[in-house]
Chains A and B, each alone.
Chain A
Amino acid sequence: MIWALILIPAMAGILAFLPLAERVRRMMFLFTSAIHCGLVLTAWLRPVTACTANGWLAMDDAALLFLTISSTLFFAAALYGIGYLSTDTKAPIRDYLEGFDFANRSERVFIGCLLFFLATMSAVATAQHLGLLWVAVEATTLTSAPLIYYHRHHRSLSAAWKYLLICSVGISLALLGNFFLAVSTTAGQGEEITLLLPILRDHAQTLSPTWLKAAFILMLVGYGTKMGLAPMHTWLPDAHSEAPSLVSALLSGALLNCAFLAVLRVQSVLAAAGLGEFGRGVLLLFGLLSMLWAAMLLIAQSDYKRLLAYSSVEHMGVLAVGVGLGGVAANGAMLHAVNHSLAKASLFLVAGNILAAYRTKDMPSTRGLRHSMPFSALLWMAGILAIVGSPPFGLFTSEIMILKGALAAQRWGVAAGYLAALGIAFGALLWAALHMVYGSAPDMPTAAGKNRETFLSVTAPALLTAVVLILGLWIPGPLGRLIQRVAAMWGGAL
């Protein structure tokens, strides 16, 4: 079962590299993502308790939650991708800033890497051994770097380079963290124990605290780079704005969460060792820093995909703050991970529609969305309202839960910083969205501009937005219970 989650996309990825007919390859892409979704759904219906491969892979509660997010997003992205690839005319595209033509890379590499990316993300979610987890996280970097460089364009190339280098360096530090953790087992007990999470948690009391703390810091910096916590987030805006929109959606919604899961796995060891307070303090610090840093950069941002990217940095900060506060805020953070992924992925997909029609990412030149593309305009507005945390949507609930946690713990400073960052983001994002949706539309640069809103390109983000809306009104019982159990692993309240 767990093997299938990893191996089926990997096999399909290999197949995608074969010279198949375009139609066959696209159907296989969609079909694989549907199978993956189906497998995750069976895990919901019939919980798997058994571990695979000597306990190295297991479908525990946290794995199930994060896999569900990744799988849902991937399915939506696949739906969108089919439409995106079929409207792609293969003709050279004109760059809006520098006025030269560029083409795309082959679809074979694109679909193949997307499927490998899904396989590696499933491995991250289910990995129970810290070494394996490291390998899987690094593998996600390698499989997603070619995706960022889909457009043959020097800005996407430099974004891919930045992503590859910064994330690889970050992850190297996490490897050192793994070694430190291994030393902490010898230093404490004299006997080295394996880095399997359940065993580590059982023996947590015997670990040497100094080495364990150093290991945690290194892993937080390492995986935090990948997660996009400030000040290690510098790769994120470039990669998200230069990648094709469905890739940005997956990076932001699924990949960042996977990296967060890696941090949380280490935090669970710390909590078992009685150092949970230390880990939470550091998380809180990085979280607040990310929120405020991103909020500052959200103001006066003129590229709408970078706007969304910085908003992702901010929301990763929200997650870190939530877990850092513990208690009810940790529950809120887990719920927020679900909500944010869905809303942000939907926004990136809509941004892809806008980019396809207007051919520019510059906000002052993308006015009058409601005239030129009514459905996308509606979804854009709804998505922005959701992401800033307006009431009918799910993010309102989760953000309030985190605030409640801060107030209950009487952390007034944290609450003030949290509210300030959210307030600034609220203003900046809504201001930008209103300007884009209203106003009069400029002449469309291409004749095909009007036909860019296809059925698939609207359905995929609409589905995601609908789920966020539903989650704001009603959280299904099993999901609520799962979130509570997961949050309890890193200090949530049951």
Chain B
Amino acid sequence: MQALKEILIVLLILLNFRLLGTSRLGACVQTVALQALVIGLLPLLGPNLPTPWIMAMMAAATLVKSVVLPGLVRRALRETGVVRELEPLMGYTLSILTGTGLLVLSHLAGRKLQLPTGGVDQLLVPVTLFTMLCGLFLIIARRKAITQVLGFLVLENGIYLFGIAFAVHEPWLVQTGVLLDVLAAVFVMGITIHQINREFDHIDTDRFSTFKD
């Protein structure tokens, strides 16, 4: 079981690199969905299984993150007819190199934050940080509004990984609230993208009139 867990964790890291390295937006959406699924599987392999009630909550959250949210983004993709992110602010090779740097950075930071439980879980701290940093990087280094939404989802995935991995027992009300908020956020972002698309026939955020300061 522990070996499987480690494989999944490595898979998460690889998925992050795929996000950094690909220009096709469809593949990016797929990767984000897969990432959410992997994160949802992790607690099932843990030393002690969560209670059925929490398991149901996690299943619902995983469903939303791996099916509903990517579905929303895919719909926005169809509407806007965007296929690729051309001319990103930072090239793909350079993005992957930066990703390597971020991974090292996350490991260094992760060593400072010692978990009470220890063991293989300790490996999750750097992976959480790495996923979050990748999300932030996507938001900064890409110019399409949709890629920025994807970056936000990756960031959320990273945070969710932390919550789920350390079985932070948020009461169900809070969990639901968090989930609903993320859902609503992506929904509102989707509407905004729709508006942007309708008004200007492009969704490059850096071509919005630039504010001077």
Contact = CB atoms under 8 A, between A and B. Distances in A.
A214 B188 CA distance: 31
B47 interface: no
Interface in A134-148: 134-135, 138-139, 141-142, 145-146
A176 B132 contact: yes
B87 interface: no
Interface string A116-155: 0000000000000101101100110110011001001011
Contact of A172 (B112, B156, B209): B156
A195 B178 CA distance: 15
Interface stretch (A34-42, A183-191, A321-329, A392-400): A183-191
Contact of B188 (A145, A169, A179, A190): A145
A159 to B, nearest CB: 8
B114 to A, nearest CB: 8
A161 interface: yes
B136 A190 contact: no
Given A161-B145, A161-B205, A237-B213, A168 B174 contact: no
Interface in B91-143: 112-116, 132, 136, 139
Contacts of B113: 210-211, 214
Interface hub of A139, A175, A297 (most chain B Cβ within 10 A)? A175
B209 A149 contact: no
B188 A149 contact: no
Given A179-B166, A210-B113, A132 B174 contact: yes
Contact of A160 (B116, B132, B192): B192
B53 interface: no
Contacts of B168: 179, 182-183, 192
B181 interface: yes
A61 B114 CA distance: 37
Contacts of A135: 174, 177-178, 180-181
Given A135-B178, A169-B139, A175 B159 contact: yes
Contact of A131 (B152, B177, B199): B177
Contacts of A316: none
A477 to B, nearest CB: 39
Given A131-B170, A164-B185, A172-B155, A154 B177 contact: no
Contacts of A149: 192, 195
Nearest to B164: A179
Interface hub of A138, A195, A238 (most chain B Cβ within 10 A)? A138
Nearest to A155: B209
Given A164-B188, A179-B166, A187 B115 contact: yes
A96 to B, nearest CB: 13
Interface majority SS (helix, strand, loop, mixed), chain A: helix
A192 B169 contact: yes
A157 B185 contact: no
Contacts of B177: 131-132, 134-135
Contacts of B162: 176, 179
Interface residues of B, number: 41
A139 B213 contact: no
Contacts of A158: 205, 208-209
Nearest to A306: B213
B148 interface: yes
Interface in B160-176: 162-163, 166, 168-171, 173-174
Given A138-B185, A169-B152, A164 B192 contact: yes
A154 B198 CA distance: 11
B44 interface: no
A195 B115 CA distance: 19
Contact of A154 (B132, B139, B209): B209
A211 B117 CA distance: 14
Nearest to B156: A172
Contacts of B213: 237, 297, 301, 306
12 contacts: A134-B177, A142-B181, A142-B184, A149-B192, A161-B192, A164-B185, A165-B189, A169-B139, A175-B178, A176-B159, A179-B163, A238-B211
Q: Which 10 A-B pairs have the closest CB atoms?
A: A131-B174, A158-B208, A135-B177, A187-B116, A182-B168, A138-B181, A176-B159, A179-B168, A179-B163, A168-B185
